[in-house]
């Protein structure tokens, strides 16, 4: 009986709700009007983490693995004859992290487990589809 109780307490103490429920990566759909624009997704260091042509879905890591290591992304789109665009993706703390840790140990999940895992964040928007303006067009 003691070993079962110890195993249960260990499981609760070593888990975070966002880590259990959330993923460390998220799919983001990138499209444009007109389609076929080339894009590059850069992280906060300026490193290209994905590239291709629209429409395409890319997987983005939500954490750099450090303590509260939330990643930041920007998408740069270009198409011949159109004005280049740069879009920022935002990350927010998930509800699972904010409230889900209460029944599963609270501070252990909030401060020791989830901050190292990307599951505590979600990326918005999950799909982008900017309308690109032709070069020389008046707005």
Is residue 130 within 8 A of residue 85, CB to CB? The reply is yes
Is residue 89 within 8 A of residue 74, CB to CB? The reply is yes
Quote the pLDDT of residue 3.
62
What is the length of the chain? Answer: 139
> Cα(98)–Cα(67) distance, rounded to whole angstroms?
16
pLDDT tens for each residue of 16-52? 444 555 577 899 999 999 999 999 999 999 999 999 9
pLDDT tens for each residue of 57-70? 999 998 877 776 78
This prediction's pTM: 0.72
| Residues 6 or more apart whose Cβ sits within 8 Å of residue 132 | 32, 33, 34, 37, 77, 79, 82, 83, 85
């Amino acid at each position: 009986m003691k070993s079962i109780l110890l195993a249960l307490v260990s499981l609760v103490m070593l888990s975070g709700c966002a880590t259990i429920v959330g993923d460390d990566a998220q799919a983001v759909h990138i499209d444009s009007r007109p389609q076929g624009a080339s894009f590059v997704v850069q992280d906060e260091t300026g490193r290209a983490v994905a590239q291709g042509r629209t429409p395409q879905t890319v997987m983005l890591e939500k954490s750099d693995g450090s303590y509260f290591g939330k990643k930041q992304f920007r998408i740069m789109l270009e198409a011949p004859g159109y004005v280049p665009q740069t879009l920022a993706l935002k990350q927010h703390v998930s509800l699972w992290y904010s409230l889900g840790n209460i029944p599963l140990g609270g501070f252990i999940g909030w401060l020791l487990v989830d901050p190292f895992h990307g599951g505590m964040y979600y990326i918005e928007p999950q799909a982008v589809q900017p309308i690109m303006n032709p070069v020389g067009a008046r707005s």
